[in-house]
Homo-oligomer: A and B are copies of this chain.
Amino acid sequence: MDFNEQYGPWALIAGASEGLGAAFADECASRGCNVVLVARREALMEETAAGIRERHGVETRTLVADLGRPDIGDLIASVTDDIDVGFFVYNAAFAPQGLFVNVPLEEQMQNIAVNCTTPTILSHMLGKKMVDRGRGGLVLVSSGAAHGGMKIFTTYAAAKAYELILGEGLWDEFRDRGVDALGYVVGATATPTFSASTEADAVKATNARTPQQVAAALFEQLGKGPRAYSHPGADEQAMASAGRPRAEVVAATGEMISSVWS
């Protein structure tokens, strides 16, 4: 089936100013789908939108908004009420860093807002319309962090688990209603944010894929199951890890994180 017939005519990508979100938007647009971008950073996002229009000749809309806002549903409704959003990728993330008891509670709350509350609100709003239309796609971008407790990123890992398990549950509810839902487990990606905050050697050591590779891998796997992995072999790694004692798994993750985090 044609991408636009199943997922068009508009895609909404939340968290799309650059990097991975921009790559998801570009993949949609390259299939002739118009895109709505939502992100905090206006200038970057406008540049991304202009590039998409230029390369693919589709329409774009942009909304500047913090994805942790409690009124985010209303804001997004206001820019999408007159169009059919047939594809939704929730790519926003907020990651407090530091030992749990030292991270200010406000950051822990922003983590829940951006990584749990908003994807729930938007999946509810946009998912309902897709189910009513009998077609669509809905992707919640999670992370390998979702697979186990993670020191220093304790609540981020927890919230990414929320997204992954919600995406899987929606797959089961939506699959006989024409809508492909997915929890997408994204591994290390050489986004501008990641590259800026990490030594070049460390970026290399993580086997980071490019945003384009990660976005392309989504479209290869969409509609085939409740969960997909951005990196080849990551599913086998996750299965192997799930078969080991939890203390070993969590401690090994903690050692890895402690070694790269400063």
* Interfacial residues, chain A to chain B (CB-CB below 8 A): 73, 99-101, 105, 108-109, 112, 116-117, 120-121, 123-124, 127-128, 131, 146, 148-155, 157-173, 183, 224-227, 238-239, 242-243, 245-247, 250-251, 253-254
Contact = CB atoms under 8 A, between A and B. Distances in A.
24 contacts: A99-B173, A100-B123, A100-B124, A101-B128, A101-B173, A112-B116, A116-B116, A146-B165, A149-B168, A149-B171, A149-B172, A149-B183, A149-B227, A152-B173, A153-B169, A157-B165, A158-B165, A160-B165, A168-B246, A172-B253, A173-B254, A225-B247, A238-B242, A242-B243
A149 B128 contact: no
* Copies of this protein chain in the complex: 2
A167 B149 CA distance: 7
Contact of A116 (B128, B162, B254): B162
A239 to B, nearest CB: 5
A154 B239 CA distance: 22
B148 A124 contact: no
Nearest to A98: B173
Nearest to A164: B161
Contacts of A149: 165-172, 183, 226-227
| Nearest 9 A/B pairs, CB to CB | A149-B168, A154-B169, A242-B242, A149-B169, A158-B166, A161-B161, A225-B247, A101-B128, A161-B165
Contact of A131 (B101, B169, B227, B238): B101
Contact of A227 (B100, B127, B246): B246
